């Protein structure tokens, strides 16, 4: 489906089915969100992993997670994305209630090829912010309108947001989502991801410990 550049983004429910995982069985829901302002490399299909009856519930644990093919599929150690996704699913399964919104915003919204170009600059010494700037790209191009639309579709009344990023809390609140609490998602640092986490903490306002060795794996 091609969206007119002047049209408003629309959310369309495409499919759903049970999805057994190592953490238990979730309801997998697929949506299409045609956003004319999104990077052309990004998919318009987004996913919700739902456990329990979240309709009209308050204080639902929610993880808004952006796609990271390099870590989640290829096993990259450069970031903590795969571990954060796994931790969110584990916590939701323990609670028996919650939602993971999996947004197709690879590379913080700049697309896979640009992300890999940024990786090449990082290999030459640039940090994650400097690499994007050298490519004349936004440091973080992600938007959360689709997340807000998905939560409204699922009829979630308020959320406890699993994130270390206060900007994500602010963005959802501006979109009308009631965030009653922020739940940190601390996962293990390694020799390849430590500098990435330092940049997140020191330059992107992520709420991470001063001593990254305190992070639990």
Q: Is 142 a catalytic residue?
A: yes
Task: Assign 101 to helix, strand or coil.
Answer: strand
For residues 83 and 188, the answer to whether their CB atoms sit within 8 Å is yes
Could you give the C-alpha distances from 55 to 14, 158, 172, 177, in angstroms and in order? 19, 10, 18, 14
Active site residue 160: no
Strands 159-162 and 60-66: parallel
Rounded to an integer, what is the distance from CA 152 to the centroid of its chain?
Answer: 17
C-alpha distances out from residue 206 to 62, 140, 217, Å = 18, 13, 18
> Quick check: helix, strand or coil at residue 90?
helix
The whole-angstrom separation of Cα 126 and Cα 132 is 9
Among residues 142, 152, 170, 211, which one is catalytic?
A: 142
Which of these is catalytic: 53, 140, 170, 201? Answer: 140
- Those residues whose C-beta lies under 8 Å from the C-beta of residue 104, and which sit 6 or more positions away, are 42, 43, 44, 45, 46, 67
Catalytic residues: 140, 142
């Amino acid at each position: 489906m091609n969206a007119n550049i002047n049209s408003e983004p629309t959310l369309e429910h495409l499919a759903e089915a049970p999805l057994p995982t190592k953490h238990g069985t979730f309801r997998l829901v697929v949506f299409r969100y045609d956003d004319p302002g999104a990077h052309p490399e990004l998919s318009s299909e987004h996913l919700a992993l739902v456990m329990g009856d979240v309709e009209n519930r308050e204080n639902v644990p929610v993880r808004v997670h952006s796609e990271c093919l390099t870590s989640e599929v290829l096993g990259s150690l450069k970031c903590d994305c795969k571990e954060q996704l796994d931790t969110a699913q584990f916590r939701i399964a323990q609670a028996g209630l919650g939602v993971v919104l999996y947004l197709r915003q690879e590379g913080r919204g700049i697309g896979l090829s640009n992300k890999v170009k940024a990786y090449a600059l990082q290999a030459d010494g640039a940090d994650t912010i400097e690499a994007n700037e050298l490519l004349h790209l936004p440091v973080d191009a992600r938007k959360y309108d689709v997340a807000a639309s998905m939560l409204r579709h699922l009829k979630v009344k308020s959320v406890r947001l699993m994130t270390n990023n206060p900007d994500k809390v602010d963005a959802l609140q501006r979109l009308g989502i009631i965030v009653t609490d922020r739940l940190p998602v601390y996962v293990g640092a390694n020799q390849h991801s430590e500098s990435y986490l330092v940049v997140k903490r020191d330059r992107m306002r992520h709420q991470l410990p001063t001593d990254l060795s305190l992070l639990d794996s």
